A and B are shown apart, each in its own frame.
Chain A
Amino acid sequence: MSSARTVVIIAALTLREASRRRVLLALAVLTVALLGLSGWGFSRLAAESSEFSTLTSGEARLAASQLLNLVMFGFSLMAALGTAFLAGPTLSGETESGIALAVLARPVRRSAVLLGKWLGLVVFGSGFIVLAGLAQCVVVWATVDYWPPQPAVALALLAAQTTVLLTLAVLLSTAVSPMASGVVAVGLFGATWVAGVVGGAGASLDNEGLERVGTVSRVLLPTDGLWRGAMHAFQDPSPITASFAAAEAFPFLSMAPLTAGYLAWAALWVAMIWGLAVASFLRKDL
């Protein structure tokens, strides 16, 4: 039994689990609701700007960018919640309930099983965020005729953000209970987002202490940094957006694109956390 085969079998099993558990249905319902709501919101925006002509085209694009990022934040939150709460049951839930006993007594390596689970979750989470994000871009394009400058980059970064968070959830679920791992992962995700907003406010106020909060949290858990990179790729690249973002520290606009260095750090971070998860899983007595 080669380890590659084990990885593929377990990844397929994880995807099947995701598709059969309620989490997929819940995600689908929420996604459709959010898409419908945002479609309605954007069509109102379009009606306002054409009826009263109070908005210049630049302002309209700025508003569209902000709204798009706001809705995308909703999606990334859903992806984060969905995968974090899927990662818990699928790993620590299975070791707690005993499902893992029969599987791991087969001629498989534990690292291959963990990699398969992780891969299945990555495909699930990334698949969701890319599909939902793309649908949202189409909704925006149909209602207010705005198309983001780099949709592929933005969606890839959202997928990367989901991967970062679920890798953390996988590590946690090798050590703590299923529910706790989901709660802690989502809590940390929210905390770094808040820290990022605080850091943004610090930057606009020229307060270095506050700014450092955002920078440090972005290094410790790269979700927020990737999220800001994604926002930057979604939003209107015109100078008016940039100046607005810098002046107001608005949480749903980003000032700068991602650096290659940060991307490399995020990749390294995922590899390190994954390595820790394997080390913890290998030593576990079932």
Chain B
Amino acid sequence: MAADPTAVSGGAAAGAAADLIADLPPAPGVWCSGLRKRYGRRPAVEDVSLEVGRGEVVGLLGPNGAGKTTVIKMLLGLVQPDAGEVMLLGRSASDPAARARVGYLPELFRYQPWLSAAEVLALHVRLTGAGVPAREQLESLSLVGLRDRAGDRVGGFSKGMQQRLGLAVALVAQPELVILDEPTSALDPLGRADVRDIVLDLKGRGVAVLLNSHLIGEVERVCDRVVILDRGRLAASGSLAKLLGQREVRLHLTDVSAAAQARLAATGELERAGDWFTVALPADDDATTVPDLVGDLIAEGARVHAVEPTRISLEDRLLGILRAGHGGDR
């Protein structure tokens, strides 16, 4: 950088170039392509590609043994991929320095039992080379509810407390990419809510988050996109809206005239159970269908008691995808 020749030949040109670079969208948090890994003769991961943009939360889903942890470990250089390429924050992952701004909570979270919680954080800050002051390090302990245990030896921590410490470790060195492998597996419901808040806060600050959890409800609440793995392969991926596909709306109506009924039927496939009407919404719904429909129904004299959007749950969709994948083999 210091020996940049353009800086000598023309300061203005160099400035313009710097502006251009600054205006470019930042490289994604993670980008990987064609990842493959076999253990012995058993393939664990086959041809997995994914990307997590800045400020995006991506959920990695799949049954046990699908290869989620293996993918995460390959991203971090903990497992050597047999094939494929990984970029972290715009740098090739083969250079350890690419992990300077990466926070990681392993599925198997264990920290040096002979150190105190505060010492573990200090160690990780030193290893990243980031100058995080001690006060800020303690703040990340507060964030996970361990502030008053900062001086206690980690060896005496419960599993849940160690997982909380692991979260603090992942967050302590000002990460721009955070990878959490089942971050709530040992946490109480309160801790799970904390993790949700932490993830949403990271997203708000433009941090890329890759999250692996089998608590689908949790994933559904925080993730922008999901990637579904099944037996090492990408089974499906996309935004929640796209993956969940068709949505429906349930209406509780009385005084439904023939015209109102026709209006309902014109919107989409209609089902009726007593006073409850379920209407499928068009796939290209741009958020005007429901208000327009309700307005028209009222104009036709119908009385509207309730309007409930319903979605096929992610869980049902996931089961569907996995069953379809397995059925295809047989």
Contacts and interface: CB of A to CB of B under 8 A. Distances in A.
Do A and B assemble together? yes
Interface of A: 1, 5-6, 9, 13, 16-17, 20-21, 97-99, 101-109, 283, 285-286
A-B complex: 7 closest residue pairs judged by Cβ atoms = A98-B108, A101-B106, A106-B127, A20-B114, A1-B129, A98-B110, A105-B104
B96 A103 contact: no
A9 B114 contact: no
Q: How large is the interface on B (under 10, 10 to 19, 20 to 34, 35 or more residues)?
A: 20 to 34
18 contacts: A1-B100, A1-B127, A1-B128, A9-B123, A9-B126, A101-B108, A102-B111, A102-B124, A102-B166, A103-B127, A104-B78, A105-B102, A106-B124, A106-B128, A107-B100, A107-B129, A283-B80, A285-B73
A6 B96 CA distance: 12
Chain A binding surface, main DSSP class? helix
B82 to A, nearest CB: 11
Interface of B: 39, 73, 76-80, 96-100, 102, 104-106, 108-112, 114-115, 123-124, 126-129, 166, 169
Contacts of A108: 96, 127
A286 B127 contact: no
B78 A107 contact: no
B114 A17 contact: yes
Contacts of A101: 73, 78, 104, 106, 108, 110
A9 B78 contact: no
Nearest to B106: A101
The listed residue with most A CB atoms (<10 A of its CB), out of B78, B79, B169, is B78
A99 B73 CA distance: 14
Interface centre among B115, B128, B129 (most CB of A within 10 A): B129
B94 to A, nearest CB: 11
Contacts of B77: 104-105
Contacts of B128: 1, 106-107
A99 B96 contact: no
A7 B58 CA distance: 35
A17 B112 contact: yes
Given A99-B111, A106-B127, 6 more contacts: A1-B100, A1-B128, A105-B106, A107-B127, A107-B128, A285-B80
Contacts of A286: 73, 78-79
A104 B93 CA distance: 13
Contacts of B111: 99, 102
Given A1-B100, A105-B99, A21 B114 contact: yes
A104 B123 CA distance: 12
